[in-house]
Amino acid sequence: MGDSRVRLLVVEDDKDLNRQLTSALELAGYVVDRAFDGEEGHFLGDTEPYDAVVLDLGLPKRDGISVLEAWRKSGHRMPVLILTARDRWTDKVQGFDAGADDYVAKPFHMEEVLARLRALLRRAAGHASSEISCGPVSLDTKAGRVLVDGNAVRLTSHEYRLLAYMLHHIGRVISRGELVEHLYDQDFDRDSNTIEVFVGRLRKKLGVDVIQTVRGLGYIAAPPIVPQNPGRAG
């Protein structure tokens, strides 16, 4: 019910897709504004208070990356879900570097867009500050610092990026493939087995079980389960 006051912006130049996205979001109870090119999208995002934005990267007049960078430079912190072509994984990396919060690859199922937007809106409500916590682990994205129970933990840049990505998606199962796409540059040996190595090192350094393996699917970040005291009645 609380979603009825949430205001979204869809920036997509494909008129049919823009209409489909807008209809689905309005059916889900959101208030939706639309833009069909980068200049119009940038202007609306710069002047109106949106709770989240769906932003295509391949836009006329001004591309999505430069629109997003301009918003972030101006201090706009609304969550942004980018739409990318499936075979352009470099776009996803560029998008994250420009300040995107999540992405969906085309062609996509509308349900996935809705689910990812719900997650972004929940996270924005819970993580208004630059600090994200998961159990005893906290990550300060501005300072690039990781604390466990208040004590600083030194991580390599790859370990930090892995942890940051996991903590930005708390409670969602993330495949090795998705982690590989987010973490590695194009010229890196993009072998998903190395993800296991990084996860193992990260677990050792953190010393707490916040990254759990979901057999056959990938990994999930979640607060460690505290064992119940068997001597107490509920």
Q: 165, 182 in Cβ contact below 8 A?
A: yes
Q: How far apart are CA 119 and CA 214, in angstroms?
A: 20
CATH code of 2-126, in short, is 3.40.50.2300
Across the chain, what does the average pLDDT equal?
82
Could you tell me how far CA 7 lies from the centroid of its own chain?
19
Instruction: Give the lowest-confidence range in 80-94, 99-113, 131-145, 185-199.
Output: 185-199
Helix (H, G, I), strand (E, B) or coil at 190: coil
Res 90 pLDDT > 50: yes
Q: Which residues contact 59 (CB under 8 A, 6 or more apart)?
A: 11, 12, 13, 37, 38, 41, 67
Angstrom CA distances, 14 to 23, 49, 55, 80, 83, stand at: 14, 24, 12, 18, 12
- Closest to 29 measured CA to CA, from 51, 44, 45, 47: 51
Greater pLDDT, 119 or 191: 119
Greater pLDDT, 90 or 4: 90
- Residue 2 has a pLDDT of 34
- Residue 67 has a pLDDT of 95
Q: How far apart are CA 89 and CA 83, in angstroms?
A: 11
Res 193 pLDDT > 60: yes
Which of 81-90, 115-124, 185-194, 196-205 reaches the highest mean pLDDT?
Answer: 196-205
Q: 206, 137 in Cβ contact below 8 A?
A: yes
Q: How far apart are CA 194 and CA 106, in angstroms?
A: 27
Greater pLDDT, 202 or 95: 202
Q: How far apart are CA 44 and CA 157, in angstroms?
A: 35
- Closest to 209 measured CA to CA, from 219, 195, 217: 219
pLDDT band with cut points at 50, 70 and 90 for residue 4: very low
Which of 49-63, 146-160, 169-183, 187-201 reaches the highest mean pLDDT?
Answer: 49-63
- Closest to 196 measured CA to CA, from 182, 173, 177: 177
Q: How far apart are CA 16 and CA 129, in angstroms?
A: 37
Listed by start position, the domains of the chain span 2-126, 131-221
- Residue 24 has a pLDDT of 92
CATH class entry, domain 131-221: mainly alpha
Res 8 pLDDT > 80: yes
Please report, rounded to a whole number, the percentage of residues in the chain having pLDDT higher than 70.
84
- Residue 65 has a pLDDT of 92
Q: 21, 47 in Cβ contact below 8 A?
A: no
Q: How far apart are CA 26 and CA 33, in angstroms?
A: 10
For residue range 98-140, what is the model confidence (pLDDT) as tens digits? 888 888 888 888 998 998 888 888 777 654 456 788 889 998 8
